[in-house]
Structure 1
Amino acid sequence: MAKVILTNEVSGLGVAGDVLEVRNGYARNFLVPQGYALHWTRGGEAQVAQIKAARAARELATIEEARDLKAKLEAGKIRLTAKTGTGGRLFGSIKPADVAAAVATAGIGQIDKRKVQLPSIKSTGEYKASVGISDEVTATVTLQVIAQR
């Protein structure tokens, strides 16, 4: 087991500043190379305090922005175009990255594709998705999937 300090939120694992024990391969091959974590050292206590302080300051400054973004996201529908076959079935499926790109192109704002929770979308129509904007603010977004012309 390897002891690590998370520098970013990892879904299902923890948030920035958490000190965790994970399997060696997970830390060595995924968390550390992707920049999600640092190896824990004796001087790690200072890093943990610094990460938590920066996270708290960032959350206080962005809570109003998060609420504004939530209002914008829930106000309208996000239109996604995809190639379709007969009966409106999609070639492939809609992914969280597609939703994040559609929100950015619509000029609504920037969302993290890792915080988008989608149902299985295999055909055209309207769907509900959940978007985590911050720890306390989650928006329910209406997605409108239409056939590409």
Structure 2
Amino acid sequence: MQVILLERVEKLGQMGEEVKVKNGFARNFLLPKRKALRATKANREYFQTQKAHLEARNLERRSEAQKVGEKLEGKTFTLLRQAGDRGQLYGSVSPRDISEAISNGGFSISRTQVPLDHAIKSIGLHPVSVVLHPEVRVKVTMNVARTEDEAERQARGEDVLAERTPEQDAAASAEGLFEEGAGPEAEGASA
């Protein structure tokens, strides 16, 4: 289906371009969200009459997004999650989790504005891109940790996973082997 784009659409084109897209993409996404019009003669004429208005509206929305982007750029948001000893999360951090954390920080962000290439599956500091407008993209940092204390240490640059020495790991596993009332101390006490 041929459509006329009413705004910039990533990986498709700029406002005013006439592009060919699959019917389902046009019917289910572009047309309902008012990002495009069918490329008919009447719609081409309508677009030409409304072009100045659409460009002004796009410029206004972009300037609003840039103002928000200046406040949001470089901020760090903390997410507390359960994780194993080696830092692997039990589950993963999704765009919905990230948008909720940013929204709790006082910004209005939807999950569709957080495109993740891959899910976050470990604790640590993770850079994340947020799309505020098709032409405005900012970077924020997600601090994924098990506790508030761990999040603060990660923010200072400490490696929270490398803090235990092999001797400490061995001692911890040895303590787990000997339950209360078992082991060499218990045998000597009963004799």
Give the TM-score, by structure 1 length: 0.72
Secondary structure at the counterpart of residue 61 of structure 1: helix
Paired residue secondary structure (1:70): helix
Larger mean Cα displacement after TM superposition, 96-105 or 43-52: 43-52
Quote the Cα distance in structure 1 between the aligned partners of 2:11 and 2:52: 22
User: In structure 2, what is the Cα distance between the partners aligned to 1:103 and 1:33?
Assistant: 27
**Alignment CA distance shift 1:94-1:55 (3 Å):** farther
Counterpart Cα distance in 1 of 2:74 and 2:135: 19
Sort the Cα spacing of 1:42 and 1:111 in 2 relative to 1 into closer, same or farther, 3 A. same
Deviation at 1:122, TM superposition (A): 0.8
**Contact 2:74–2:141 (Cα < 8 Å) also in 1:** no
How high is the TM-score relative to the length of structure 2? 0.59
State the match for 2:171 in structure 1: none
Match of 1:118 in 2: 116
Check the 8 A contact 2:77/2:101 in 1, yes or no: yes
Whole-angstrom distance in 1 between the partners of 2:90 and 2:125: 17
Residue 103 (structure 1) shift = 1.2
Aligned length: 147
Q: What is the alpha-carbon root mean square deviation over aligned residues? A: 3.1
Q: Percent sequence identity over matched residues?
A: 36
Q: In the superposition, relative to structure 1, how do residues 90 and 34 fare at CA in structure 2: closer, same or farther (>3 Å)?
A: farther
User: Within 5 A, what are the aligned runs for 1:48-67?
Assistant: 48-49=47-48, 52-67=51-66
Q: Cα distance, 1:64 vs. partner?
A: 4.4
Deviation larger for 78-87 or 24-33: 24-33
Unaligned runs of 5+ residues in structure 1 are none
* Closer/same/farther in 2, CA of residues 67 and 42 from structure 1, 3 Å limit: closer
Most deviating of 29-38 and 81-90? 29-38
* Deviates further, 51-60 or 97-106: 51-60
* Residue 66 of structure 1: how far off its partner (Å): 2.8
